[in-house]
Amino acid sequence: MKGKNTQKNELLSWIVVLFLGLMIAFICKEYVFSPVVVNGASMSPTYEDEDVIIVSKISKIQRFDHIVFRAPDEEDYYIKRVIGLPGDTIEMKDDVLIVNGKKYDESYVKRDSDSEKRVTENFTLEQLTGEKTVPDGYVFVMGDNRLKSYDSRHFGFIPIDDVYGESKVRIYPLNSIKIILNPYEQ
């Protein structure tokens, strides 16, 4: 009889541990972090098509962070780089980013081998959006592959409430990971 109670207690403890583990995993995925697969080339070379990234849902968004957000005109999600925060002025002049009067070197932007070719058209925030500064509650985003990115230059500001999270970790594409089950079969 004592052995039967021990087995019952052992089974019950395993059920409790499994349940708690699943609850913790669910809570973390829903509220703390989540894996996301990159689709497209708008953030190349920073992220490539089919890269897997881990997104933090609790990060405070800062300039130049990579964020995942609900697309403004479809049911999909985009990943882009935050260029402007609320209150910022933004200008692009001769392929140089100017935020609040300060010039930034954008070494992350995909450029062709021909360094003379401009990758970002000249603009001011006001020319694109009619606003002199990024409004409260919004961000201005652009892709790193400026020639192939559909971003705030086209669809305007992104509501901060539509931000899913910030990319924290890049895991290379799943299709590039070779799993060797039997090393002698190579």
Catalytic residues, by residue number, are: 42, 80
List, in order, residues 6 or more apart from 141 with CB less than 8 Å away.
Answer: 67, 69, 78, 80, 81, 82, 83, 151, 152, 158
Q: How far apart are CA 55 and CA 169, in angstroms?
A: 7
Q: How far apart are CA 62 and CA 144, in angstroms?
A: 16
The Cβ of residue 57 has, within 10 Å, a number of other Cβ atoms equal to: 16
83 contacts 97 by C-beta, under 8 angstroms: yes
Radius of gyration of the chain, Cα coordinates, nearest whole angstrom: 23
Residue 118, beta-bridge partner list: none
Q: How far apart are CA 186 and CA 184, in angstroms?
A: 6
Q: How far apart are CA 95 and CA 121, in angstroms?
A: 7
